[in-house]
Structure 1
Amino acid sequence: MDDDVVNSIANMEDEFEDVGYLEGLEAGKVIGRIEGREMGCDNGLSIGRDLGFYQGWVQQWLRTANVRPGLVPDRVLKKLTALQNAINEVPMANGEGADFGDRLKAIQLKFKTASALLGVNAAAELPNSELSY
């Protein structure tokens, strides 16, 4: 009987570690979800604002090109269309393979290229993004 008491005392530390680990794991999942949701809302707002800017900018130039044919050269129209397509391909839900950073970098590059071809100062038009893409 004394051996049982000694063994149970010796195993108590391991049991408490196991219980503490499992409780910590569950608490971490809850905290991780909360922090992930907050970060997603913050980043989602910034991504949405930036995409909205690029969408409005390219739509206005495409409308202008339709209203005043010849004003925007065909080469620039191709760049504007490529920018519009890149914006349209951004998924509206976050999932595996969404690679928002890479997509936004490509959109930003297309925007800068189209701006340069149009002779528009892109730096003056860029939104104040909090994201570093």
Structure 2
Amino acid sequence: MVAGIAEGRELGVQKGYEIGQEVGFYAGCIRTWRALQAKEPDLVTDRMERGLAALEEMIRDFPLYDPQNESLHDNLERLRGRFKVVASGFGCLQDYYPKEAAQASWSF
């Protein structure tokens, strides 16, 4: 039983870290796009601006510090979808791939 609790805690820490890393990636992309917008205001259309604002609000309201929130995974799926829409508007990569997954797929 003690081993199961320890394994569960370890898995929870790992999954929490992965979710935090993904949400942080999205927040970093928004900061980058906002910096680009400040330098070149014509780069961002009204539609892209609405998408960025919605994405910022979703990240601000994301229950990152409430791991027992039942809507956490639903919110994460909506966040991913909104990110894909905004990223496609900028012509950027539309998926988040953690560094570990990219390294695991390399073969030499």
Once the two structures are superposed, what CA deviation does each residue of 1:79-124 show, in whole Å capped at 9, x if it has no partner? 011111111111232354342211111111011001112222324x
Alignment gaps of 5+ in structure 1: 1-27
Q: Could you say which residue in structure 1 is the equivalent of 2:92?
A: 120
1:54 corresponds to which residue? 26
8 Å Cα contact 1:115-1:121 kept in structure 2: yes
- State the number of aligned residues: 100
> Unpaired runs of 5+ in structure 2?
102-108
Q: Is the 8 A contact 1:91 1:98 kept in 2?
A: no
1:81 maps to amino acid: A
Q: Which position in structure 1 is the counterpart of 2:44?
A: 72
3-state SS of paired residue (2:98):
coil
- After superposing the two structures, state which structure 1 stretch, 59-68 or 106-115, moved more: 59-68
CA contact (8 A) 2:20 2:64 kept: no
Deviation at 1:77, TM superposition (A): 0.9
- Where do 4+ consecutive residues of structure 1 move more than 6 Å? none
The aligned runs of 1:1-133 (5 Å cut-off) are 28=1, 30-123=2-95, 126-128=96-98
RMSD of aligned Cα (Å): 2.1
How many angstroms does 1:65 deviate by? 1.1
Structure ID, larger Rg: 1
